[in-house]
Structure 1
Amino acid sequence: MKKFIAISAVICSLVTFNACNKEELEINNPNALTTDQYWATPDDAEKGVNSIYAMFYKDGLWARWIYFRLDLASDEGFSKSPWVELADWTRFKYVNYNFWEGNSVTWRDSYKAIFRANQVLANVPDITFEDESRKNSIIAEAKFLRAFHYFYLVELWENIPLILEPSTPQDLPLQSNKEEVYAQIEMDLNDAFNDLPATWDASDVGRPTKGAAKAMLAKLYMQDHDYTQAKAALEYLITGSGAMYSLVDNFQDNFTHLNENNEESVFEIQYGDQRLGGTGEGAAASVSSTRAQFFAPRGIGWSDGQARWWIVDLFKEEANQNGGIDERLQYSLFYPDLEADFGLQTYGRSWEWNADEAWFKKGSRDYYRNNEDYYNEVNYRLIRYADILLMYAEALNELDMTADAYAYVDMVRARANMAPLATAYPAIGNDHDMFLERLKKERVLELCGESVRYLDLKRWGAFDSQSAIDEIITRDSDFENFVVGKTNILPIPQAEVENNPNFEQNPGY
């Protein structure tokens, strides 16, 4: 049975407030712990670090709204939600910068996670442990998770406060630029790597490992176009001492609850359906994902997010080695001809779609039930070994090692019974640009709907010129609203700008 990290809400709000500088008004609640009272034992430290993981299950992050940015605002997805403001935030129409679901809640929840990590990092070093290695690994977990949340913050907003100590309501932090935040992320991940284990016992599966730290470093270096460093980080997982990963035989095993934390998983969020509360801080708060409910076809879920049809066409451009359709399509997307294309028995569902509509399928539960809800228990594989192999191929190509890159793309293609790349596309040869253009398609075929495409486009410079945007528009008409130099990053929530004189709104807003 799947093991879950115990979640504690004890320290969610351990902040000392000062009111009017009048000591007589500073009354401690005898029924609530203060920070000074709390951080005393190893058990406090365990609960403290576990509270950071609890943020994965909040609305602004990986329970719901972050997918609207990473998947629907890329050229893979879009929204036709009747909630017009929500749909507008996937098509770059930003009017109300305080729009909660599209902007403010992800900012808030990211900094809540960072606040919790900062508390661990500030207080755990002073706690006495019998097992010093566990103390060090708790600190390493907090550094990994702080780096993780800063990575997505800086990619989405860029000019953000870099807060490294427990914050108080009176703080007015300064903004940092992308390079400063990148440097801190790199430092945290390197520190975390030193003290994280290579693997965890079954009861602690889901915590980051050395491999996860190297994978996040690789993602950081790739976004920073530091391909030499990315290559070195990726080699730890592919040929180095961390080479314990491999592709599972069955592609679908990456998207169900039946074979989780398998050999392909580098880092995944542990979801479950055992608690049916909301997404607040109570003891019954859910540890589930609502993504499938919001992205499911009409009649099954809310259908607030859909996949672009060009992805279906891409899957059908090249036949597999048996002359059939790339089998990854049946596990990646819902679309009208799904059953006919793959000889499937009827799903027995009341689909409500048009001939050219598609939906993201990964992580849905169609393999054993007829509907979705807010308590999806399928773990979200944030980093898969297939992604590692394709990033490594990209790094090699950028370092003029194109001939060496083929093998790593072919490993991914072989699982899907696709011919070797050189056989299918001999004209590419060692041409850097042609290889990269093909690799861009390979990443869609393998990773579509897995929240990587937005960052891929950003890394490839697709947001940097009007000519590049015009090319995207041929696949995604929402990019007609994209403004180069502006909408490549989000507006900072306006309330943050107005409440902090040290903040400036992002350029163009």
Structure 2
Amino acid sequence: MKTYQLIALGAVISLFAGACNKNLLDIDNPNEAPIHTFWQTESDAQMGVNAAYSSLYKEGTWMRWLSFRYDLSSDEGWSSSPWNELGDWTRFNYVNYNFFEGNNVHWSHFYTGIFRANQVLTYVPDIEFANQEAKDHVLGQAAFLRALWYFQIATLWEKGALVLEPKGPDYVPEEVPEEAIWAQVEADLKDAIAKLPDAWDNNNVGRATIGAARALLAKAYMQQHRYGDAKTELQWLIDREGSMYGLVDNYLDNFTHLRENNIESVFEIQFDDENKGGTGDDIAMATGLQRTQFYAPGGIGWQDGKARAWLVAEYKKEQNLEGANDIRLYHNLYYRDSPADFPDEDPLVYGRQWNNADWGNDLFIRKYSTGYYRNFEDYFAPNNYRIIRYADVLLMYAECILETGGSPTEAAVHINKVRQRPSVNLPALESSVHATALSSGESLLKHLQMERALELCFEGWRWADLKRWGLLDNQAGIDELKSRDPDFNNFIIGKHRRLPIPQIEVDNSGGKLTQNPDY
């Protein structure tokens, strides 16, 4: 079920109906369902939750700009965009706090998603259902989606407005601290866990499940260094390895449109390229992954986002059990020497030879590209975006083992599963060039930072990882990041670990929202 049957509601339900005094102009829009006639039936409830999912199909999310925020601002990537302001927002040169594509678009689209989830959570409890379980499923999905958006707000700005019901046009947002936002994420995900199913039928595959809620809750706990709580949530998924969850044999199957919603998927956005319109709220709204156009090499795409060279060097520190380079390097990056490093793989890029004149020694991001089946990129790709997959769960679980005093040997069991996926086929850690990492929990935790990068690069988690590990909080951490990514020469400790609040939101709040420190 690729797009959550999004045509159901057009994503907007008379947001502020009834907010004004009745007069001759107070009439219903025939193209929208006003609140006083909507939210009456099970069908209305289902359309409402589908509308909440539709916020995933906005430029400020993983569809497009959020990858710039998480992938290119981290040490994994950088921006070579000729649009200087766009590039500057990945290298910590924040001047215009209202720069839409770098800041305001995220705030706007996250809170739109929260509003839609709030409608469901406010109005659906009063709708009579024939089956309580069906009602719970609707409410559980809305709680999960609201938590997903508040997770991003806590990660990016570290404070914001905590809105838990639909508001009218006279509402003025009032800020709460990061701790209050994390507490709401926790409450929503616990509610979702109590209401969601383990799995959905074939017509509803891709909707939020208990496993998705537990994995996201574990991530929220880990960002707060509550590793024992996180480990408990992850244990639920680990216990279902081989039945509900596991690793696919072929690493590439996680990033194409050919084997989506597979056993490794915990939660993924159901993208497709059938609708090629804008990203408004009409029936033809775009539902394709758009980042591929921005990351593809020049002449194929716009090459706005590129990879850092240290990743290649790190992958090539060890070979697999057949004496070949780590296949994840081939699947994740395009670079000049890739044909020589992978003589048994296709040497072409979108069916073309490497363009030395234009591409030189640049490194491009292959993950999620469509070069595996076509010779061009456009604004619309059919690949689902895997927000959480089981390989991430295994690596998080290993981290939680170490952070709660478990042994390196115990943690390595889960790291080795990722390393020894059949298509990757690396040696077990204890037999690898990294064997000394098992000498202590501290050493393995440090090495795990690199294992996560090699498995999960360009999947949107590196920025949260850097924050959790404290690398953004002291000079030693920034120096380490500078050695991999010169953009961190611009990083100011105590300032750039968070974005500035969009200035228009601060100005319009009458002092109830304040700007972040040092901005």
Pairwise TM-score range, normalised by the shorter structure: over 0.9
Residue 350 of structure 1, CA deviation: 5.7
- Residue 431 (structure 2) aligns with: 423
Contact 2:301 2:377 in 1 (8 A): yes
SS of 2:268's equivalent in the other structure is strand
Residue 242 of structure 1, CA deviation: 10
Of 349, 360, 366, which aligns to 2:352? Answer: 349
Contact 1:198 1:242 in 2 (8 A): no
- Residue 336 (structure 2) aligns with: 336
- Residue 401 (structure 2) aligns with: 396
CA deviation profile, 1:336-370 (whole Å, cap 9, x unmatched) = 12222212344232644544321111111111111
SS of 1:374's equivalent in the other structure is coil
Of 381, 384, 395, which aligns to 1:379? Answer: 384
- Residue 515 (structure 2) aligns with: 505
SS of 1:24's equivalent in the other structure is coil
CA deviation profile, 1:275-332 (whole Å, cap 9, x unmatched) = 1111111111111011111011112111110010110111101111122111111111
Contact 1:236 1:242 in 2 (8 A): no
SS of 2:301's equivalent in the other structure is coil
- 1:358 matches 2:368: no
Residue 243 of structure 1, CA deviation: 6.0
Contact 1:159 1:176 in 2 (8 A): yes
Contact 1:266 1:383 in 2 (8 A): yes
- 1:147 matches 2:147: yes
- Residue 23 (structure 2) aligns with: 24
Contact 1:290 1:376 in 2 (8 A): yes
- Residue 175 (structure 1) aligns with: 175
Of 459, 471, 488, which aligns to 1:462? Answer: 471
Q: 5+ unaligned residues in a row in structure 2: which ranges?
A: none
SS of 1:36's equivalent in the other structure is coil
Further displaced range: 424-433 or 249-258 = 424-433
- Residue 123 (structure 2) aligns with: 123
- 1:75 matches 2:71: no
Contact 1:57 1:63 in 2 (8 A): yes
Contact 2:255 2:368 in 1 (8 A): yes
CA deviation profile, 1:412-433 (whole Å, cap 9, x unmatched) = 1111111111111332334122
SS of 1:474's equivalent in the other structure is helix
Distance in 1 (alpha carbons) for counterparts of 2:316 and 2:454: 10
- 1:265 matches 2:270: no
Of 392, 410, 413, which aligns to 1:407? Answer: 413
- Residue 324 (structure 2) aligns with: 324
Report the residue type matching 2:23 in the other structure. E
Instruction: State how 1:20-59 maps to structure 2 within 5 Å.
Output: 23-24=22-23, 27-29=26-28, 31=30, 32-59=32-59
Distance in 2 (alpha carbons) for counterparts of 1:16 and 1:328: 49
Distance in 1 (alpha carbons) for counterparts of 2:25 and 2:280: 27
Residue 77 of structure 1, CA deviation: 0.5
Instruction: State how 1:197-276 maps to structure 2 within 5 Å.
Output: 197-239=197-239, 244-276=244-276
SS of 1:328's equivalent in the other structure is helix
Distance 1:345 1:463, change over 3 A: closer
Residue 9 of structure 1, CA deviation: 3.6
- 1:297 matches 2:297: yes
Contact 1:309 1:356 in 2 (8 A): no
Distance in 2 (alpha carbons) for counterparts of 1:79 and 1:11: 32
Residue 171 of structure 1, CA deviation: 0.7
Distance in 2 (alpha carbons) for counterparts of 1:281 and 1:242: 40
Q: How many residues align?
A: 507
SS of 1:107's equivalent in the other structure is helix
Distance in 2 (alpha carbons) for counterparts of 1:140 and 1:57: 20
Of 459, 465, 480, which aligns to 1:471? Answer: 480
CA deviation profile, 1:147-188 (whole Å, cap 9, x unmatched) = 001001110011110100102111112111111111110011
CA deviation profile, 1:448-490 (whole Å, cap 9, x unmatched) = 1111111110100011012211111011000111111111000
SS of 1:38's equivalent in the other structure is coil
SS of 1:71's equivalent in the other structure is helix
Distance in 1 (alpha carbons) for counterparts of 2:381 and 2:81: 21
- 1:443 matches 2:452: yes
- Residue 65 (structure 1) aligns with: 65
**Cα root mean square deviation, aligned:** 1.6
Residue 16 of structure 1, CA deviation: 2.7
Report the residue type matching 1:94 in the other structure. Y
Distance in 1 (alpha carbons) for counterparts of 2:396 and 2:217: 12
Report the residue type matching 1:129 in the other structure. F
Distance in 1 (alpha carbons) for counterparts of 2:21 and 2:290: 45
Distance in 2 (alpha carbons) for counterparts of 1:81 and 1:430: 43
Contact 2:10 2:281 in 1 (8 A): no
Distance in 1 (alpha carbons) for counterparts of 2:131 and 2:360: 61
CA deviation profile, 1:380-427 (whole Å, cap 9, x unmatched) = 111110000000001101112122101000101111111111111332
Residue 36 of structure 1, CA deviation: 1.3
Distance in 2 (alpha carbons) for counterparts of 1:45 and 1:241: 33
Further displaced range: 114-123 or 444-453 = 444-453
Contact 1:300 1:351 in 2 (8 A): no
- Residue 4 (structure 2) aligns with: 5
